C-alpha cells in the first residue's frame, strides 16, 4: 500500500473518491481498470493512510504482486481494519444506496463488529457510502442498545473530515 500512497497525491485520491458516487469513470490508467466498488475500498485505504499516517490500515481485499486490488475480501472479514491507539476500527464501504444498501450491508457489518467484540477487541465500525439509507440508519441506531457502535458517513463528508481532522476517531464522529 505504501507504494500507492506515495504514487497518488491527496488531490487525486480525493477527486477519485468524490467521483465514485456519480458513477464517473476514472481518467487514471491504473484506477480505471479496477471496478468501482473495489476502487472505493482501495481509495478509502489510501485516503486514510495518506491523511492519518499514525493509523495502521489493513485492507482485506485480495491484491496482486503490485498491491493493486483484484477481488473483494472474503465474506467473513470487514473491508478495512484500522488500528488507532487502543481501538480497532472496522471500515465498511459501499456504493449501494436505497433498500439494497440496508439488505446487503447492515447484517454483515453487525456480524463483523459482534465477532471482534466477542473476541475481546475494543471495536467500532464506520460505514461509508454515497448516501446512507434511512433503514440502514435505523438499524445501526437499533443495535446500539447491544453496545455495538456503527458510525455512518457519506463519502463527501468522510473526505472533507480527512482534510481537517487528525485522528480516525475525529474523522468519523
Q: Where are the domains of the chain?
A: 2-171
- Can you tell me whether residue 85 is helix, strand or coil? coil
Predicted pLDDT at 74: 77
How far, in Å, CA of 162 to CA of 169, rounded? 11
Predicted pLDDT at 86: 87
Predicted pLDDT at 165: 96
Predicted pLDDT at 75: 75
2-171 CATH pick, 3.40.50.300, 3.40.1160.10, 3.40.91.50, 3.40.50.1980: 3.40.91.50
Edge-first strand listing for the sheet containing 150-154: 56-59, 80-84, 87-93, 123-129, 150-154
Count of beta carbons in the 10 Å neighbourhood of residue 163? 11
C-alpha cell at 53: 499516517
Predicted pLDDT at 23: 85
User: Could you read off the pLDDT tens digit of each residue along the chain, which spans 173 residues?
Assistant: 899 999 999 999 999 999 999 888 899 999 999 999 999 999 999 999 999 999 999 999 999 999 999 999 877 899 999 999 888 999 999 999 999 999 999 999 999 999 999 988 899 999 999 999 999 999 999 999 999 999 999 999 999 999 999 999 999 98
H runs (alpha helix) in the chain: 2-7, 10-19, 36-51, 98-101, 107-118, 134-143, 155-164, 168-171
Amino acid at each position: 500500500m505504501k507504494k500507492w500512497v506515495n504514487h497518488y497525491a491527496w488531490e487525486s485520491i480525493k477527486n477519485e473518491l468524490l467521483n465514485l458516487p456519480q458513477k464517473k469513470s476514472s481518467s487514471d490508467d491504473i484506477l480505471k481498470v479496477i471496478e468501482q466498488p473495489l476502487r472505493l475500498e482501495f481509495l478509502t485505504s489510501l485516503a486514510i493512510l495518506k491523511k492519518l499516517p499514525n493509523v495502521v490500515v489493513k485492507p482485506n481485499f485480495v491484491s496482486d504482486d503490485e498491491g493493486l486490488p483484484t477481488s473483494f475480501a472474503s465474506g467473513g472479514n470487514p473491508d478495512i481494519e484500522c488500528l488507532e491507539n487502543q481501538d480497532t476500527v472496522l471500515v465498511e464501504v459501499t456504493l449501494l444506496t436505497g433498500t439494497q444498501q440496508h439488505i446487503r450491508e447492515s447484517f454483515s457489518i453487525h456480524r463483523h463488529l459482534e465477532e471482534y467484540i466477542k473476541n475481546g477487541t475494543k471495536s467500532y465500525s464506520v460505514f461509508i457510502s454515497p448516501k446512507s439509507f434511512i433503514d440502514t440508519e435505523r438499524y445501526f441506531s437499533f443495535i446500539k442498545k447491544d453496545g455495538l457502535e456503527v458510525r455512518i458517513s457519506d463519502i463527501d463528508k468522510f473526505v472533507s473530515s480527512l482534510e481537517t481532522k487528525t485522528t480516525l476517531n475525529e474523522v468519523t464522529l
